[in-house]
Structure 1
Amino acid sequence: MGIVSKEELNNAAMQIILHAGDCRNYLSEAIHMSENDEDILMIDLKLKEAKEEITKAHKIQTEMIQNTIENDDMITTLLFTHAQDTLMTIYSELNMTNSILRLYRKLNSKVTI
Structure 2
Amino acid sequence: MDKQVQDNELVEVAMQIILHAGDARMKTEEALEQTKNFDFAGAKEKLVEAKECIRKAHHAQTQIIQDETRGKTYPPSLLFNHAQDTLMTIMSELNLANSMVELFEILDKKYSKDGGNNE
TM-score strictly above 0.5:
yes
> Scaled by the length of structure 1, what TM-score is found?
0.89
Q: Displacement, 1:20?
A: 0.2
The root-mean-square deviation of aligned C-alpha atoms, in Å, is: 1.7
Query: Unpaired segments of 5 or more residues in structure 2?
Result: none
Q: Secondary structure at the match of 1:37?
A: coil
Q: In the superposition, relative to structure 1, how do residues 56 and 73 fare at CA in structure 2: closer, same or farther (>3 Å)?
A: closer
1:100-111 alignment, distance < 5 Å: 100-111=100-111
Q: Return 5+ residue gaps in structure 1 as ranges.
A: none
CA distance in 1, matches of 2:34, 2:80: 33
After TM superposition, the runs of 4+ consecutive aligned structure 1 residues lying more than 3 A away are: none
Give, in angstroms, the shift of residue 73 of structure 1. Answer: 4.0
Measured after TM superposition, the shift of residue 74 of structure 1 is 3.9
Bigger radius of gyration: 2
Q: Which amino acid aligns with 2:82?
A: H
The answer on whether the counterparts of 2:43 and 2:101 sit within 8 Å (CA) in structure 1 is no
| Larger CA deviation: 68-77 vs 18-27 | 68-77
Larger relative contact order (Cα-Cα within 8 Å, sequence gap ≥ 6): 1
Aligned position for 1:34: 35
Q: How many residues align?
A: 110
Could you state the TM-score of these two structures normalised by the residue count of structure 2?
Answer: 0.85
Equivalent AA in structure 2 for residue 102 of structure 1: E
Identity %: 47
